[in-house]
Chain A
């Protein structure tokens, strides 16, 4: 039952102010109660640097590493990744996490990647690059069984994208995304 405005406000309020209060009263009635927040929304989602900044920085580091590596080692490829990114589960897969190691770009323009992933239910998944936070292009599919190591590849110019995400093949629902998004 809605509260009675006159009873709430009583007498002795000048007409102009009474009109203001009545508008607020009616707005409250239309709006209804705000919902209780679920515990999962008690804290803001983790964010770090902006993803494009991270990718640009990562790409710059990769170029520098490739250049220095070539300078000192005569072009031989190293075993260490050029850069690594953490991935975290979204609300759709809170327990999931992953580490994505990106290796030096090859002459053909491929970025080999190694992903260690855990916390996802067993099944088939796909790693994608995102643009404006949405899946844009595929970096390959893989199967998960427990904690899984998957080798993948990004044959793209990374600066055209803003991060990586894991989805189920054919779905656009993001299960994990790079930590920075």
Chain B
């Protein structure tokens, strides 16, 4: 049985010219789109342009989206990726042999990480603010749970509860993506 895809329903509405649906889709995905563009391009201004181009393309191309062929997230992802690629400067010719062994992740790993990053950043937008806030402070603010409790003025137990429920909700959203 096909699972419900709220984002797919939004894209279908955008195809009918529904501006409210377009705005909702924008708010749900703009951070993922901008994040992808910024990683690819490395320049905030180009990334901003690419993000705007991506959403202009969503508006133009929504009629090409076919829900029966798959969920909206990968469709949006490919539009965002293409918009970023379009902004890349022309490629330099590759050297015939690398000077030193490349120890970074291979293209397949990079693509997997990019897709995972897209999904995580999108899923974070779906979390309640209270849960997103404690996760952000714990993971990227380098705060201990006691420091978070003190900074937000809430009991330590509440920080722990929010952290756990935030991670659980995030896991659920990522699992949903996998079965769509």
Residues of A within 8 A of B (CB): 1-3, 7-10, 13, 17, 20-21, 23-25, 27-35, 37-38, 40-41, 44-45, 47, 49-51, 53, 90-92, 132-133, 162, 177, 181
Contacts and interface: CB of A to CB of B under 8 A. Distances in A.
Contacts of B26: 44
Interface string B27-47: 100111011001000001100
Q: Which 3 A-B pairs have the closest CB atoms?
A: A31-B120, A44-B26, A24-B171
Contact of A13 (B30, B49, B51, B164): B164
Contacts, number: 119
Interface of B: 17, 19, 22-23, 26-27, 30-32, 34-35, 38, 44-45, 48-49, 51-53, 55-57, 59-61, 63, 113, 116-117, 119-121, 124, 135-136, 138-140, 142, 145, 160, 163-164, 167-168, 170-172, 174-175
A40 B44 CA distance: 11
A38 B48 CA distance: 8
Given A10-B160, A49-B17, A51-B60, A29 B139 contact: yes
B64 to A, nearest CB: 10
B17 to A, nearest CB: 6
Residue among A45, A92, A132 with max Cβ neighbours from chain B (10 Å):
A45
A50 B140 contact: no
Nearest to A23: B171
Contact of A35 (B27, B35, B160, B172): B35
A133 B56 contact: yes
A50 B17 contact: yes
Contact of B163 (A8, A37, A45, A91): A8
Contact of B34 (A7, A41, A44, A53): A41
Nearest to A20: B171
Contacts of A51: 60
